[in-house]
């Protein structure tokens, strides 16, 4: 597992704007995830945020990513469509894409749905 290349792609918006989030994750949830992964033997971890001068996940980084962890809830529209296509192509080539962004453009493109969620009552079924 130590040779897996993980990129944590975080919006880093809630960590700046929400005092409770800052209290829980003072360095950002991206760093909390990186520390958890490092504690499990992952050594090659890169963090990308929308704050960086090149927030689009440059090809040089995306090409070196085995697993892309997408964390976002507030700026899905800031993700350019050409990047969404490049991410989809990398997933088709074998890159993993677990995430916590149910309305993210890459996940919508991969699933072919709007990824809208609704609360379910006990006993109801959900089709995915």
CA 33 from centre of chain:
11
Please check the confidence at residue 21 and state whether its pLDDT lies above 80: yes
**What are the structural domains of the chain?**
5-111 (3.40.50.880)
Per the model's pLDDT, the better-predicted residue between 124 and 84 turns out to be 84
Provide the whole-model pTM.
0.79
Radius of gyration of the chain measured on its C-alpha atoms: 15
32 CB contacts (<8 Å, ≥6 apart)?
A: 25
The DSSP secondary structure of 16-42, one letter per residue, reads HH-HHHHHH-TT-HHHHHHHHHHTTT-
Q: What integer pLDDT is reported at residue 128 of this predicted model?
A: 57
């Amino acid at each position: 597992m130590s040779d897996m290349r993980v990129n944590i792609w975080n919006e880093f918006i809630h960590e700046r704007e929400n005092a409770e989030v800052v209290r829980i994750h003072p360095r950002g949830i991206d760093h909390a995830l990186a520390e958890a992964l490092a504690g499990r033997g992952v050594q090659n971890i890169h963090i990308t945020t929308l704050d960086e001068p090149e927030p689009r996940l440059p090809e040089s980084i995306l090409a070196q990513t085995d697993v892309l962890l997408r964390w976002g809830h507030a700026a899905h529209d800031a993700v350019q469509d050409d990047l969404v296509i490049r991410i989809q192509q990398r997933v088709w080539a074998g890159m993993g894409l677990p995430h916590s962004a149910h309305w993210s453009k890459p996940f919508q493109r991969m699933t072919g749905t709007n990824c809208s969620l609704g609360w379910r009552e006990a006993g109801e079924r959900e089709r995915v």
